[in-house]
Chains A and B, each alone.
Chain A
Amino acid sequence: MKNLIVIGAGPAGMSAAATAARGGAKVLLLDEQPHPGGQIFRNITRNRNTLPHLGPDYAKGLEQAEALQHPNLTCRFGSTVWRIDDGRAKDGPRVAYSQNGKSQSVAARHVLIATGAQERPTPFPGWTLPGVMPAGAAQILMKSSDLIPREAILAGTGPLLYLIAAQMIDAGTPPLALVETQTSSMMARALSKMPRAMIDRQQVFKGLSLLRKIQKAGVRRYTAAQEFRARPQGDGLTFTFTSKGKEHVLHCALLLCHQGIVPSTNLTRSAGIPHQWNVTQLCWQPTHDDDGRTDRPGLWVAGDGAGIFGADAACAQGVITANAILCALDDLSPDIARHINAHALNRRFRADALRPFLDAAYAPAPEFLSPVDETILCRCEEITAGQVRVAASNGAEGPRQMKTATRAGMGPCQGRMCDLSVTTTLAAHSGRHPTDLGPHRARSPCKPVTLGELSRLDLGD
């Protein structure tokens, strides 16, 4: 039996798996993608340094991916985990996953869930139209297929938009416009967080240089943008919004939206780990201690899936959590762990420093948290914000009754694209706090499995 199963080969999962393997644990690393890297370092082992426009931070992922070569570490890519049982089961935590159309369930003494983040859903009228995508999704195409967005508008908020704009400029295809939702008063409030952010001054300067590059390239920039709406026009889109009281109408082939990222919590919720509402980042995250330990025996979390702090912090946290797991396996003494964690703790401290500034300056805009009635919230079942409000008025008190009353969250994505928006819309409508509403319950299989595959599930019996 393995000592540790790590789910997710992004920054946290890769560093945890390598650290634990080097520390003597037998580790199984599972990831859905065909190659390591997660989304931030997507396809790094194939691209290596052939895509200079993606910048130096991307290239840093190669070293981490190469550290996965260790005799104690088995990597299974193309493996989709669809269920986790915690350590109360008689043979310890168990993970069920699908690879090449075959599902099996394996037990280990510890399971680390490092499934990272997803982009916050940005519902507005027209966001389901062809050509509207999250900005990060377009960046995935840049990394995985060297496809550069053409006639694209970047719209929303967050430093990722600056990075993608700079990458597009360096690739020779600048965006048509950068339409930002943050306001000058948000920026002014965020300035109080700047002194702490300067602990990581390198990142601050990097951000400023991205902005200079965007300015120099002559990209049109709008701020305090509101009332997003997209309509089809020929093969492309018409994008309308207001900025500082004035209406703007732009045309584009691609509308790339972004309102920050949030933890992917389907697996952690379905495993029964308690979750709490992050009042700053406006999202659910699994409850855990500094080491990444949850209250479910044998289950651990690390990286952005445990709370958004970015890739650098995730990488550091992977080391810290792996060492805590090694201690739990008696492969490492806590005294030595404290000593060898010093570097990672320092790195985590530095990486965390910028976060309060980013959270304040680039908070999601209210119109995406409680969109106008006609907006589709649930893309799968095509349920609108208006339908959610009607159900709330008819007595759907919480996430469960809302789901059964409207079918929002019952489609194949299992609520990944609408749970948060349903929660924030319901909270705004009923005047209740998301903490009172509670998170949606997630059930397995967390990703669809065919009946045939489930009927042949290998339970090791």
Chain B
Amino acid sequence: MNALRAENLVIGGGVVGLSVAFGLLQAGHKVHVLDGADRDLRASHGNFGLTWLQGKGARYAPYSRWTWSAVQQWPAFAEELAEISGQEVALEQPGGFEFFTDSDEHQTFAADLAAQAKTLGHDFTYQSCDGDTLRRNIPGIGPDVTGATYCAHDGHVNPLKLLHALRLSVQRLGGTIQTNATVKDLKRDGAFYRGILADQSQIAADRVFLCAGLGASDLAPQLGFRTIVRPQRGELLITERLETRLPFLSSTIRQVDEGGVQIGGTKAEVGPDDAETLPKMRELARHAVAIWPALAEVNILRSWGALRVVTPDGYPVYGRAPDGGDAFLVTCHSGVTLSPVHAKQLVAWFDDHKDAPNLEGFRDDRF
């Protein structure tokens, strides 16, 4: 059988893979993307859509700076995507809150932000306030909220629109996306990489970018990568659409541009199980009503579980195959926030461009 030939093969059609594909195309490369089956785990279909800086890498400077760079680039990136694809991603960067109902947690997190500010310098601004101050500024916040932190750089997009815009952009720029294409086997063969798909078809590529989230866990070791990612379940609720706009954005409660309020933030180590559970659904409802009591009357339409892609230390991995070949591993949890830097700086790094960022802090062999 004749193998399909690709110069640059991106394995993974989620936000991470498509951001990389988009960047490669813009750098003038030819790109073919392999996307998996409809029923795959697909973190990009179940996520929260934040473009978030607050607390990110508070104790790990490379991650904090990388995220900082991403949120700075988001406005231009969103505009560029909309221009190419015709699809707006509904980016808003109004600044975001972390709400607390426990003073100790608040203090600990405020200390993290102080550390983050030290890393990022004077451009990073955040505030911390008690519950009463908060309620004076945002009437309607519940009485159980003891305090909050606020970071002016936080925002959100509609993650499904982002995924759609990336897909369309990749196609408009001449990239090809092959659907229902699950890679079963991948290995180096001299100057090429050869893959075998679930339907037994073959593919050969000069360069391979492994961006398949949890789906990469079988393939990464075949190329000698060391990172082992694990699933971490987050559960989410979505309400009916509201005419009213919520006057805040937080890391656990956000209103989608279409009007529904998304509530999330739970974490559970349960393996590859994306079911929603009654105790977590209730916990999320209690949280939402505690923060904004007016939400009590609002209907929940749906809940779901989605699996975060988590590396051993929680920070992204950008790795080059240990044999020095042209295979790269890209994996992280914050695919939405980091989308702009994946499309720009990361591609410069793949290409060994003179402007390539220093990604030593994200090496695959740090584990």
Contact = CB atoms under 8 A, between A and B. Distances in A.
Is this pair of chains taken from one and the same complex? yes
Interface of A: 83, 85, 94, 96, 105, 272, 394-395, 397-401, 404-405, 407, 410-412, 414, 437-438, 443-445, 448-452, 454-455, 457, 459
B212 interface: no
Interface string B287-302: 0110000011111111
B101 interface: no
A400 B303 contact: no
Most buried by B among A83, A438, A449, A450: A450
A230 B289 CA distance: 44
Contact of B38 (A83, A96, A438): A438
Contact of A395 (B179, B240, B288): B179
Interface string B43-57: 001000000000000
A394 B296 contact: no
Interface residues of B, number: 40
A395 B35 contact: yes
B163 interface: yes
A450 B297 contact: yes
A404 B35 CA distance: 15
B131 to A, nearest CB: 19
Given A398-B39, A445-B300, A451 B285 contact: yes
Given A394-B167, A448-B301, A457-B281, 17 more contacts: A397-B38, A399-B38, A407-B160, A412-B240, A412-B301, A414-B301, A443-B303, A443-B304, A444-B302, A445-B281, A448-B240, A448-B299, A448-B300, A451-B297, A451-B300, A454-B237, A455-B286
A450 B279 CA distance: 16
Nearest to A415: B302
A394 B42 contact: no
A24 B169 CA distance: 64
A449 B258 CA distance: 20
Nearest to A457: B282
B168 A394 contact: yes
Interface of B: 35, 37-39, 42, 45, 160, 163-164, 167-168, 171, 177, 179-180, 237, 239-240, 258, 263, 275-276, 278-279, 281-282, 285-286, 288-289, 295-304
5 contacts: A394-B167, A400-B39, A404-B160, A451-B263, A452-B289
Contacts of B160: 404-405, 407
B168 A105 contact: no
Nearest to A272: B275
B179 to A, nearest CB: 5
B301 A411 contact: yes
Given A445-B303, A451-B288, A454-B300, A459 B177 contact: no
Nearest to B258: A407
A249 B35 CA distance: 48
B295 to A, nearest CB: 5
Contacts of A449: 299-300
A154 B256 CA distance: 41
A455 B285 contact: yes
Contact of B276 (A401, A443, A451): A443
A401 B300 contact: no
Contacts of B168: 394
Contacts of A407: 160, 258
A445 B289 contact: no
Contacts of A401: 38, 45
Contacts of B278: 83, 85, 94, 96, 105, 457, 459
A125 B296 CA distance: 38
Nearest to B33: A395
A272 B298 CA distance: 27
A452 B299 CA distance: 9
Nearest to B275: A272
Contacts of B240: 412, 448
A397 B179 contact: yes
Contacts of B163: 404
Given A394-B167, A443-B304, A444-B276, A454 B285 contact: yes
Contacts of A412: 240, 299, 301
